[in-house]
C-alpha cells in the first residue's frame, strides 16, 4: 500500500468543516509500524497510541496531516484550509 502524494485524487470519504477537509484513509494492520506501510511521510509520535505523519519540513507550509491510531490501525487525513 502506498499513500497518494499531494495533488492526486482524493477518496470518497472526504468531508469538509470550516475549510478543513477530513478524509478517512485505508487502515493499516493494528499495532504495526506505520512506516512499513508509508515510506513517503515523516512522522512524530503524539502518545503511545497516536502517530502524526506529514510531508513537509517545519519551514514549509503544511497542506495536510495524517493521524494514525496504532491500536486500531485507523487513519484520517486532515487537509488544511487554503
Question: How high is the pLDDT of residue 73?
Answer: 96
**Helix intervals (H) in the chain:** 34-37
Question: How high is the pLDDT of residue 39?
Answer: 87
Question: Who contacts 70 (Cβ-Cβ below 8 Å, separation ≥6)?
Answer: 30, 31, 32, 34, 49, 50, 51
Question: How high is the pLDDT of residue 13?
Answer: 67
Which parts of the chain register pLDDT below 50? 1-9
Q: Any bridge partners for residue 23, and if so which?
A: 14, 77
Q: Which helix (H) or strand (E) holds 40?
A: none
Question: How high is the pLDDT of residue 63?
Answer: 93
Question: How high is the pLDDT of residue 28?
Answer: 95
Amino acid at each position: 500500500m502506498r499513500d497518494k502524494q499531494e495533488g492526486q485524487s482524493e477518496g470518497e470519504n472526504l468531508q469538509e468543516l470550516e475549510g478543513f477537509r477530513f478524509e478517512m484513509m485505508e487502515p493499516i494492520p493494528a499495532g504495526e509500524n506505520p512506516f512499513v506501510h508509508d515510506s513517503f511521510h515523516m512522522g512524530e509520535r503524539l502518545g503511545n497510541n497516536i502517530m502524526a505523519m506529514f510531508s513537509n519540513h517545519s519551514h514549509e507550509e503544511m497542506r495536510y496531516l495524517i493521524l494514525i491510531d496504532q491500536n486500531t490501525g485507523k487513519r484520517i487525513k486532515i487537509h488544511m484550509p487554503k
